[in-house]
Amino acid sequence: MMKEATLRVFRGDSKGGQTVDYRVPIAPGMVVLDALHYIQGHLAPDLAVRWNCKAGKCGSCSAEVNGRPRLTCKTRMDDLPVDQPITVLPMKSFPRIKDLVTDVSWNYRVNRKIPAFEPRPGVEWKISQLDVDRVQEFRKCIECFLCQNVCHVLREHDKMEQFAGPRFFVRIAGLEMHPLDGRDRAGLLKDQLGIGFCNITKCCTEVCPEEIRITDNAIIPLKERVVDEFYDPLTMLFRKFRGDKVQSV
């Protein structure tokens, strides 16, 4: 007798829906995405699931498994209790399209607000590994948007218009700390991207499948940079005194 599990999957669209239970046979090493594929292939061919690589590299298959935001391709069935149904729900913070697929286009709109890399004039293209290490952590991001989904500023307070979310602070950290970048995005962070809304409660760091230390290494350093420019009277005075001209955006 093959071992089985019950998946309790959300079925529905933007108008509403309910969960439906599916019985799925368990194979060794199976992940939740395998179970969803089994449902597609045998029980519900129109079950909408977004996925690409099934190897934890593309960040497409985000969902909430037993209430926890996860990549379904990296969530092992044998790590979940199978004596009760495993709930699989779409990401809560984004508008539902169908079943487990949500509309994440907001993220792409936010990304457009961030000025791209622009080298300082006349830079020599020599970069030291010690300058690269820090930024490479941010570049690991696979844009699964789980951090955006779990962040309570978006999830509970719907600050989509005023707040960019952890993903884009990670992106900006990668640009701001790029050793050759010549732009300054502190004003943008403070005013348009609402970094002040972040109260550093670290859920983004907890869910990141790439183990980027989002809060400590990206958001807090950016907050400190914003302090330099807007809240610290001494550094503000010092900048004035030195006549620093930064290319603000």
Partner 1 sequence: MTANYETREHDVLIIGAGGAGLRAALEALAQGASVGVVCKSLLGKAHTVMAEGGIAAAMANVDPADNWKTHFRDTMRGGKFLNNWRMAQLHAQEAPDRVRELEQWGALFDRTEDGAILQRAFGGHTFKRLCHVGDRTGLEMIRTLQDRGVHQGIDVYMECTVTRLLTDGGRVAGAFAYWRETGRLIVFKAKSIVIATGGIGKAWRVTSNSWEYTGDGMALACEAGAELMDMEFVQFHPTGMVWPPGVQGILVTEAVRGEGGILRNKVGERFMERYDPKRMELSTRDVVARSIYTEVKEGRGTEHGGAYLDISHKPAEYVKKKLPSMYHQFKELADVDITKGPMEVGPTCHYMMGGVRVDAETAQSTVPGLFAAGEAAAGLHGSNRLGGNSLSDLLVFGRRAGLAAADHAKRVAAPSLDNAQIEQAEKELLAPFSNTGTESPYAVHRDLQEVMQNLVGIYRTQEDLKKALLDLEKLKARAAKASVEGSRLFNPGWHLSYDLKSMLIVSEAVTLSALARTESRGAHSRIDYPNADPVWEKKNNIIVHEGGEMKRRESPVPEMPPDLKQILAEDKA
Partner 2 sequence: MADSPPVLPESRLGSTLRRDSWWVEIIPVVVVLGGFGIYATLRAFEGTYYSWGPYISPFYSPLIDPQHHWWPFSPALLILLGPLGFRATCYYYRKAYYRAFFLDPPACAVGEPANRKYRGETAFPFILQNVHRYFLYLAVLFLIFLWKDAFRSFFFDSRFGVGVGSIVLTLNVALLTLYTFSCHSLRHLAGGKLDCFSCASFGRARFSTWRGVSLLNERHMLFAWSSLISVGFADFYVRMVACGAIHDLRLL
- Among positions 6-35, residues that touch partner 1 (CB under 8 A) are 13, 27-31, 34
- Rounded-to-integer distance, Cα 167 and Cα 142, Å: 10
Chosen residue from 24, 104, 198, 218 binding partner 1 by CB under 8 A: 104
Nearest distance, CB of residue 187 and partner 1, angstroms: 18
Say whether residue 52 binds partner 1 (CB under 8 A): yes
- Which does residue 10 touch among partner 1, partner 2, none (CB within 5 to 8 A, set by kind)? partner 2
**Binding string, 118-147, against partner 2, x = CB under 8 A?**
---------xx-xx----------------
Residue 83 or 133: the one with the smaller Cβ distance to partner 1 is 133
Nearest distance, CB of residue 53 and partner 2, angstroms: 25
- Rounded-to-integer distance, Cα 67 and Cα 80, Å: 12
Say whether residue 156 binds partner 2 (CB under 8 A): yes
**Residue 3: how many other CB atoms lie within 10 Å:** 13
- Which does residue 159 touch among partner 1, partner 2, none (CB within 5 to 8 A, set by kind)? partner 2
Residue 108 or 125: the one with the smaller Cβ distance to partner 2 is 125
CB 24 within 8 A of CB 101: no
| Secondary structure string (H, E, C) spanning the chain | CCCEEEEEEEEEECCEEEEEEEEEECCCCCEHHHHHHHHHHHHCCCCCCCCCCCCCCCCCCEEEECCEEEEHHHCEHHHCCCCCCEEEECCCCCCEEECCEECCHHHHHHHHCCCCCCECCCCCCCCCHHHHHHHHHHHCCCCCCHHHHHCHHHHCCCCCCCCCCHHHHHHHHHHHCCCCECEECHHHHHHCCCHHHCCCCCHHHHHCCCCCCHHHHHHHHHHHHHHHHHCCHHHHHHHHHHCCCCEEC
- Which does residue 52 touch among partner 1, partner 2, none (CB within 5 to 8 A, set by kind)? partner 1
Say whether residue 208 binds partner 1 (CB under 8 A): no
Residues of this chain that bind partner 1 (CB under 8 A) = 13, 27-31, 34, 40-42, 44-60, 74, 76, 97-99, 101, 103-105, 108, 111-112, 115-117, 119, 125-129, 132, 135-136, 139-143, 171, 175, 178, 181
Residues of this chain that bind partner 2 (CB under 8 A) = 8, 10, 16-23, 43, 64, 66-69, 81, 85, 87, 89, 92, 127-128, 130-131, 150, 152-153, 155-157, 159, 176-181, 194, 196-203, 206-207, 215-216, 220-221, 223-228, 230-232
